[in-house]
Amino acid sequence: MRQVALTLVALAVVAGVMWMGARHAFAHLEQGVKAPDFTLQAAQGGDVATVDLKAALAKGPVVLYFFPKSFTKGCTVEAHMFSEHVGDYKKLGAQVIGVSGDDIETQKKFSTEECRSAFLVASDPGLKVAKQYDASLAPGYANRTSYVIAQDGTIAYAYTSLDPAKHVDNTLDALKALAAKK
pLDDT band, residue 182 (cuts 50/70/90):
confident
Exposure string for 35-56, b = 16+ CB within 10 A, e = fewer: beebebbbbbeeeeeebebeeb
- Provide the pLDDT confidence category of residue 8 given band limits of 50, 70 and 90: very low
For residues 171-178, give the mean pLDDT: 97
pTM of the model: 0.85
Q: What number is the average pLDDT over the span 127-137?
A: 96
Which residue type is seen at 87?
G
Top-confidence residue, 81 or 140: 81
| pLDDT in the model for residue 41 | 98
pLDDT, average across residues 169-181: 96
115 flagged as catalytic: no
> What confidence tens digit (pLDDT) does each residue in 28-74 have?
899 999 999 999 999 999 899 999 999 999 999 999 999 999 999 99
Q: Is 109 exposed, middle or buried (0-12, 13-18, 19+ CB in 10 A)?
A: middle
Strand, coil or helix: 66:
strand
Residue 106 has pLDDT above 50, yes or no: yes
pLDDT, position 26: 58
Residue 48, strand partner residues: 43
Residue 137 has pLDDT above 80, yes or no: yes
Mean pLDDT rounded to a whole number for the chain: 88
Which position has the higher pLDDT, 26 or 89? Answer: 89
- Residue 171 pLDDT exceeds 80: yes
Helix (H, G, I), strand (E, B) or coil at 160: strand
Catalytic residue among 53, 63, 75, 122: 75
- Name the DSSP class of 164: G
Q: What pLDDT is stored for residue 138 in this prediction?
A: 87
Which of the following CATH numbers is that of domain 2-181: 3.40.50.300, 3.40.50.280, 3.10.28.10, 3.40.30.10?
3.40.30.10
CA-closest candidate to residue 64, choices 139, 166, 171: 171
Q: Where are the beta strands (DSSP E) in the chain?
A: 39-44, 47-52, 62-66, 95-100, 120-123, 136-138, 141-142, 145-149, 155-160
CB 175 within 8 A of CB 92: yes
Q: Give the start-to-end residue ranges of the domains of the chain.
A: 2-181
